[in-house]
Structure 1
Amino acid sequence: MPSSAAPTSASSSPEQQTAVDKALTLLKQLAEHDREIGVSELARRTGLTKSTAFRLLGILQRNDLVERVGSDYRLGTRLFDIGTRVYGPTSLLLRERLLPHLADLYELTHETVHLAVLHDTDIVYVNKIHGHRATRSPSRIGARMPAYCTGVGKALLAFDHDAAEAAIALGLTGRTEYTLTDPGAFRAELRRIRQEGIAYDRQEAALGLACVAVPVMGPGGRPVAALSVASGHRFDAARFAPALRRVAYEAGRAVIAAKAQSAAPSGLGSTPAA
């Protein structure tokens, strides 16, 4: 019996797509680029007519899903609000709770700093502050990356045996010539990270990019997130290790205190002074 499933937008021509398909195609194109794009260029890339693209962009703009900058368009702030909820309230709370510590790390380094969490075998960047020196990096707030080739990812996998073995089972694909792809060498690297409490990305995720990362330890001595400092591959990553350790320690204390406060019975810990 032939399948009655509707064709997916990826395999459908513009004529077969619904208005929702077309709108999502426009959003995906905007998401793939870090700059504003004009309606003519968006129409060309999506295969839509210019009039259709313009009409749909107007609807998306009214709903704050895209913003107009002159005659060009970019993703809107409403999408960011939605995106922060993709990985659940825990990631959102961590983002808000640890923002002051991320800012402290930035002030100590003036380099690009990240806050990330582990999601299955990937890491998700939940916050980022750009440094003074422009560095090409695949990291964006809300973006996912394979954990095995990033500093923050290795800092978290080192303390999560099941996730680390799952990542190895999926295959340690070489993203650059420096990526650790041998399971034995990768496990040895995770053992070193557990012993020293610090992880490095030496151009393993992207050429020209290096970073140093540490886990943020929550209740029970288990990591809940990771912080990193990133810059060009020639920067002295080890120089930032003391600042990272200090900020991660304070961030961990904040997480543990918040957890204890939320678990305390109503009224405890809030007795006014005599």
Structure 2
Amino acid sequence: MVGSRGATAGESVTARALALLGAFDDRHRRLTLTEMAHRAGLPVPTAHRLVAELVRWGALERLPDSARYVVGRRVWDLGLLAPVQTGLRQVASPFLHDIYAATLATVHLAVRDGIEVLYVDRLAGHQSVPVVSEVGSRLPLHSTGVGKVLLAHAPAGVRRGALERLTRITPYTITQPGRLTAQLERVRREGYAQTVEEMSLGGCSVAVPVRGSRGEVVAALGLVVPSLKRDRPRLVAALRVAAEGISRSLR
């Protein structure tokens, strides 16, 4: 099936080139020319010409000894210039390292992108815990700790959209709208969110909000650990101290 962001007849060359780049996502990181053309809704000859130009510019790279392409380094370099990277990520970096030093757990900094959570920074922990996130990756809001924080403080329309798309990722993912709504109310009331094996089996998460100059939630800061049974209060306290530090720096 061609993705919803595919090109249509009459679109500009720029739109078609962007559709080819948009063919890549978390589940499609390496694509052949034919796969790119299909996902972008373009004829293969058109895709062939545009892909060659994108490779020359550095937006795409062809893997050695392979017919598959990946997103090029130049796109990543441009992404680092985005405000969410140069501002928030730079300000938060020392606080993420402080949390990592105190917990040795995987640390996440994330923002909301539509009804998904976008990971803008990550420090990998020493503990053997399954973690599916990477910097730049997107995951569902409803199944991650940072996502639940962002969803709890999102506009009502965003929450409604997310509640209509509650996909089950593990047997423990909360997919009942009423139950998730109650959980989001508790997140707003208690100031933190948690998950237990909702995104990956063997992984639990806890997260807190990061606020901007007007008190609005601009990001979420979280940890992934094997269990929250004993250390949750300590982890929440550490996250809150760091989140407040980031918020002060942003202000």
The amino acid across from 1:81 in the alignment is D
User: Secondary structure of the equivalent of 2:58?
Assistant: coil
1:62 to 1:214, Cα distance in 2 relative to 1, 3 A: same
Tell me how far 1:50 sits from its aligned partner: 9.8
Count of residues in Structure 1 that have an aligned counterpart in Structure 2: 237
1:191 to 1:80, Cα distance in 2 relative to 1, 3 A: same
User: Secondary structure of the equivalent of 1:141?
Assistant: coil
Q: Select 2:32's aligned residue among 42, 55, 64.
A: 42
1:245 to 1:218, Cα distance in 2 relative to 1, 3 A: farther
Which residue of the partner structure matches residue 223 of structure 1?
217
Tell me how far 1:116 sits from its aligned partner: 0.9
CA distance in 2, matches of 1:165, 1:24: 28
Unpaired runs of 5+ residues, structure 1, are 1-7, 260-274
Which residue of the partner structure matches residue 175 of structure 1?
168
TM-score normalised by the chain length of structure 1? 0.65
Tell me how far 1:113 sits from its aligned partner: 2.0
**Aligned partners of 2:208 and 2:243 also within 8 Å:** no
Q: Select 2:151's aligned residue among 146, 157, 166.
A: 157
Q: Select 2:97's aligned residue among 93, 100, 103.
A: 103
**Aligned partners of 1:212 and 1:241 also within 8 Å:** no
CA distance in 2, matches of 1:165, 1:53: 36
Q: Does 1:237 align with 2:231?
A: no
Q: Does 1:59 align with 2:50?
A: no
User: Secondary structure of the equivalent of 1:62?
Assistant: helix
Which residue of the partner structure matches residue 212 of structure 1?
206
CA distance in 2, matches of 1:111, 1:216: 19
Tell me how far 1:17 sits from its aligned partner: 9.6
Moved more, 192-201 or 23-32: 23-32
1:184 to 1:22, Cα distance in 2 relative to 1, 3 A: closer
CA distance in 2, matches of 1:178, 1:248: 26
Tell me how far 1:129 sits from its aligned partner: 2.5
1:222 to 1:46, Cα distance in 2 relative to 1, 3 A: closer
**Aligned partners of 1:157 and 1:164 also within 8 Å:** no
Moved more, 149-158 or 42-51: 42-51
User: Secondary structure of the equivalent of 1:190?
Assistant: helix
The amino acid across from 1:82 in the alignment is L
Moved more, 24-33 or 206-215: 24-33
Q: Does 1:250 align with 2:242?
A: yes
Unpaired runs of 5+ residues, structure 2, are none
Query: Cα RMSD between the aligned structures?
Result: 3.9
CA distance in 1, matches of 2:160, 2:91: 32
User: Secondary structure of the equivalent of 1:237?
Assistant: coil
CA distance in 1, matches of 2:149, 2:27: 29
Q: Select 1:75's aligned residue among 68, 71, 77.
A: 71
Question: Alpha-carbon deviations, 1:105-124, whole Å to 9, x = none?
Answer: 23333333211123454332
Which residue of the partner structure matches residue 267 of structure 1?
none
1:84 to 1:144, Cα distance in 2 relative to 1, 3 A: farther
The amino acid across from 1:135 in the alignment is P
TM-score normalised by the chain length of structure 2? 0.70
